[in-house]
C-alpha cells in the first residue's frame, strides 16, 4: 500500500472521526427518540390510570349522593306520616275532652241514684239515652286515640332509624368525597411533575388520538346511516375476546333482538358517536361535556328510555346479558377492583365511552386491557 502523505493521513483520520461522531449522533438521536416515545407512553398510561381512578372515585361519590338523596325523600314521606299521626292524635284527644265535659255536666253519678233524684222520669230516660250515646262515642274515641298513638310511635321510630341511616350516608359521602379529592390531586400532581416537553408530547398525542377517535366515530356513523355493516371498520363481527365468551358470532350489527329495534339502537348509538371528541368533566354539563353515565343516559333518552346517570344505579336498571349477546346500544359496566364506569357497545367489537379527563369521549376496543381487568357485566335497557 502506498504511503500516505502526512497531511493525507491527518485528513483521513479526521474524516473517520467525523463519520464516527456522526454515526454516534444518529444512533444517539434514535435512541433518545425511542426513549422519549417510551417515556411518553409510560407517562400517558400512568396518567390515564390515575384519571380513571379519579373517575371511578367520582362515580362512587355520585352513588353515595344518590343514596343520600333517596333517603332524604323517604325521610320526607316519613315526616309526613309523623305529622299526620300527631294531627290524628290531637283530634281524638279533643274528642275525648268533649265527651269528658259532657259527662261532667251530666253529673257523672250512678244511673239508679240519679233516678231517685229527678222529678220527671221522662227527663231521666232522655238523659240516659244521651249518656249511652256519649259512652259509645267515648269508647270509639279511645280506640282511635290508641291507634293514633301507635301510628305516631311507629312513624317516629321509623324516622329515628332513617336519621341514623342519614348520618351513616353522610359519613360515607364524606369518605367518598375525600377519596375523590385525593385521586384528583394525585393525577394533577403527577401531571405537574412532568417536564414541559413531556407534557407537550402527551397533549399532542392526546389530540391525535382524539382526531383518530373522531374519524372512527364518523366512519361508524356513516355505516349506521347507510345501513351497511361491512365496509366501515365496524362490521357485523363478534365481540369475542371478552369475559365469559363462548366463541360464537354474537355481538354484531343492528339485529335488535330482545326488544331493542335496529332503528332505536341506531338513534342511540348515533347520538353517542356525535359526542366523540368532547371533553370529560367531573362536573359534566351535557351536551358540552360528559361523564360516562351521563353519556349513556342521554343517548338512551333520545328514544324515550330513562336511565339514572349514576353508575351503580344505572347498572341495576338494565337486563343483564352475556357478553356474547352484545348488540349496538347495549351497555357495559365496570365495578371490580373499585372501578365505577359505563360504556356503550356500537358493534364490530368497539365501544363509545366518556373515558377520563385525559381522553374525553372516544371510540375504542371493547375488550382493551383495562376493560377486561375491571368488567362486571353487560346489560340491555328495558323498553
Query: CA-CA distance, 39 to 24, in Å (whole number)?
Result: 22
Q: What architecture is the 24-193 domain classified under in CATH? A: Orthogonal Bundle (1.10)
Residues 232, 273: contact at Cβ < 8 Å? no
SS3 at position 229: coil
What is the arithmetic mean of pLDDT over 265-292? 93
Q: Which of 342, 346, 365 is nearest to 354 (CA)?
A: 342
Domain 200-381: give its CATH code: 3.90.1720.10
pLDDT given for residue 224 in this prediction? 61
**What gap in Å lies between CA 272 and CA 269, rounded to an integer?**
5
73-77, 206-210, 238-242, 263-267: least confidently modelled range: 238-242
Look at the pTM and tell me if it is higher than 0.85. Answer: no
The Cα 35–Cα 127 span in angstroms is 109
- C-alpha angle 378-381-383 in degrees, rounded to nearest 5: 155
> What end-to-end distance do the CA atoms of the chain give, in Å?
92
24-193 and 200-381 share one fold: no
Q: Which residues contact 360 (CB under 8 A, 6 or more apart)?
A: 210, 277, 278, 279, 280, 290, 354
Q: Are 362 and 353 within 8 A, CB to CB?
A: yes
Q: What is the residue extent of each domain of the chain?
A: 24-193, 200-381
pLDDT digits (tens, 9 = 90+) for 185-239: 888 888 788 778 777 777 777 677 767 766 766 666 666 655 544 333 333 334 4
Amino acid at each position: 500500500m502506498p504511503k500516505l502523505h502526512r497531511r493525507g493521513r491527518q485528513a483521513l483520520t479526521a474524516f473517520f472521526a467525523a463519520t464516527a461522531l456522526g454515526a454516534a449522533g444518529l444512533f444517539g438521536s434514535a435512541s433518545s427518540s425511542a426513549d422519549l416515545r417510551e417515556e411518553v407512553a409510560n407517562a400517558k398510561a400512568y396518567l390515564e390510570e390515575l384519571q380513571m381512578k379519579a373517575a371511578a372515585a367520582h362515580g362512587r361519590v355520585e352513588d353515595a349522593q344518590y343514596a343520600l338523596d333517596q333517603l332524604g325523600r323517604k325521610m320526607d314521606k316519613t315526616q309526613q306520616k309523623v305529622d299526620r299521626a300527631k294531627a290524628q292524635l290531637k283530634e281524638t284527644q279533643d274528642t275525648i275532652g268533649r265527651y269528658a265535659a259532657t259527662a261532667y255536666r251530666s253529673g257523672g253519678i250512678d244511673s239508679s241514684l240519679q233516678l231517685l233524684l229527678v222529678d220527671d222520669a221522662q227527663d231521666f230516660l232522655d238523659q240516659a239515652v244521651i249518656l249511652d250515646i256519649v259512652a259509645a262515642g267515648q269508647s270509639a274515641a279511645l280506640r282511635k286515640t290508641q291507634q293514633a298513638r301507635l301510628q305516631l310511635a311507629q312513624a317516629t321510630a321509623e324516622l329515628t332509624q332513617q336519621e341514623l341511616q342519614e348520618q351513616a350516608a353522610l359519613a360515607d359521602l364524606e369518605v367518598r368525597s375525600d377519596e375523590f379529592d385525593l385521586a384528583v390531586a394525585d393525577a394533577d400532581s403527577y401531571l405537574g411533575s412532568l417536564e414541559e416537553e413531556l407534557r407537550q408530547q402527551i397533549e399532542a398525542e392526546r389530540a391525535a388520538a382524539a382526531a383518530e377517535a373522531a374519524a372512527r366515530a364518523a366512519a361508524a356513523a356513516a355505516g349506521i346511516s347507510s345501513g351497511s355493516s361491512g365496509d366501515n371498520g365496524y362490521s357485523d363481527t363478534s365481540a369475542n375476546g371478552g369475559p365469559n365468551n363462548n366463541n360464537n358470532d354474537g355481538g354484531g350489527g343492528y339485529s335488535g333482538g330482545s326488544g331493542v329495534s335496529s332503528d332505536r339502537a341506531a338513534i342511540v348509538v348515533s347520538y353517542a358517536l356525535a359526542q366523540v371528541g368532547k371533553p370529560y368533566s367531573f362536573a359534566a354539563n351535557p351536551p358540552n361535556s360528559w361523564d360516562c353515565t351521563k353519556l349513556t343516559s342521554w343517548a338512551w333518552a333520545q328514544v324515550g328510555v330513562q336511565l339514572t346517570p349514576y353508575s351503580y344505579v344505572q347498572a341495576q336498571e338494565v337486563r343483564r346479558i352475556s357478553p356474547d349477546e352484545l348488540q349496538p346500544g347495549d351497555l357495559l359496566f365496570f365495578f371490580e377492583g373499585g372501578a365505577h364506569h359505563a360504556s356503550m357497545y356500537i358493534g364490530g367489537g368497539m365501544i363509545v365511552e366518556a373515558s377520563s379527563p385525559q381522553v374525553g369521549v372516544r371510540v375504542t376496543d371493547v375488550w382493551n386491557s383495562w376493560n377486561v381487568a375491571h368488567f362486571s357485566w353487560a346489560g340491555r335497557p328495558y323498553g
